[in-house]
Amino acid sequence: MSFDRIAPHYRWMEWLLAGGKLQRCRTAFISEIPVPREVLMMGEGNGRCLLEMLRAFPSARFVCVDASARMLERARVCVESAGLGASAIEFVHADALDWKPPAACFDLLVSNFFLDCFTADQLGVLVPGLSAAATSDARWLLADFCEPPSGFAKWRARWILRAMYFFFRRVTRLSARSLTPPDALLRRSGFTLCERRLSEWGLLHCDVWRRAAAESPQ
Ligand SMILES: C[S@@+](CC[C@H](N)C(=O)[O-])C[C@H]1O[C@@H](n2cnc3c(N)ncnc32)[C@H](O)[C@@H]1O
């Protein structure tokens, strides 16, 4: 699996197919959460969310893990060309399924359009592994696709998701064939859903999850 091939085209393809909708999901809660100290960004891709996080949280330290060297390079260039401090960021080129994060270290986890890359079995390993890297009061910002429960919206989402998986499986050799909602795994790992915003007829969601030990809701 590699997003290297698609990395140079990712931005214009997203703009063409979704305009600013995905970016609105990625950044929806940035101004509403407590200022984090240590941020883990999984599958960050070309750095568009990282850039906004750096602007919002200039004192935080960031670890960005991605299996695509070309995506990581784009993220680095994106941050540097905006004149923001790449020194606060550690870029880690690794497969998330093999990477071993430090325990109980990050008070913010971010995964945007990343968990949808994995099969149910893979998520069953990945989500608990990442949760172990979260502090007891951590938040998890999560944006992704989802399938509405019924009606036209459900069938619309099904066709869009089917086309997307067809495309990404061929171009990136993704092993997932369909979407697995991570909600149950997050709950089992000690996270509670604080807020979910749906958009695009229920096709997109952006969430704030928090560890149960946190005192304030956001
Ligand atoms: C669909 S893209 C999403 C990129 C970005 N987060 C966004 O919001 O557009 C998925 C990203 O996750 C990375 N990725 C996919 N599978 C991965 C894995 N097993 N380990 C690490 N990164 C992975 C890809 O390289 C890619 O950058």
Is the distance from the beta carbon of residue 53 to the nearest atom of ligand 1 less than 6 Å? no
Rounded-to-integer distance, Cα 72 and Cα 34, Å: 26
Judge whether residue 117 has pLDDT over 80.
Answer: yes
Number of Cβ within a 10 Å radius of residue 98: 7
Give the residue, by CA position, lying nearest to ligand 1 atom 6. 44
Which atom of ligand 1 approaches the CA of 43 most closely?
Answer: 12
Is the distance from the beta carbon of residue 67 to the nearest atom of ligand 1 less than 6 Å? yes
In this prediction, residue 68 has a pLDDT band, given cuts at 50, 70 and 90, of very high
Domains of the chain: 7-211 (3.40.50.150)
How much is the pLDDT for 212? 78
How much is the pLDDT for 218? 52
Q: What is the mean pLDDT of residues 111-127?
A: 98
Tens-digit pLDDT profile for residues 164-216: 999 999 999 999 999 999 999 999 999 999 999 999 999 999 999 999 754 54
Residue that is written with structure tokens 């020194």 in the block: 87
Is the distance from the beta carbon of residue 71 to the nearest atom of ligand 1 less than 6 Å? yes
| Alpha carbon of 96 to ligand 1 centroid (Å) | 9
- DSSP β-ladder status, 89-93 and 191-199: unpaired
* Closest C-alpha to 176, from 185, 187, 186, 164: 164
How much is the pLDDT for 213? 59
Give the residue, by CA position, lying nearest to ligand 1 atom 11. 43
Rounded-to-integer distance, Cα 54 and Cα 113, Å: 19
How much is the pLDDT for 18? 95
Is the distance from the beta carbon of residue 47 to the nearest atom of ligand 1 less than 6 Å? no
- Percent of the chain residues topping a pLDDT of 90: 94
| Alpha carbon of 118 to ligand 1 centroid (Å) | 10
| Alpha carbon of 46 to ligand 1 centroid (Å) | 9
| Alpha carbon of 1 to ligand 1 centroid (Å) | 10
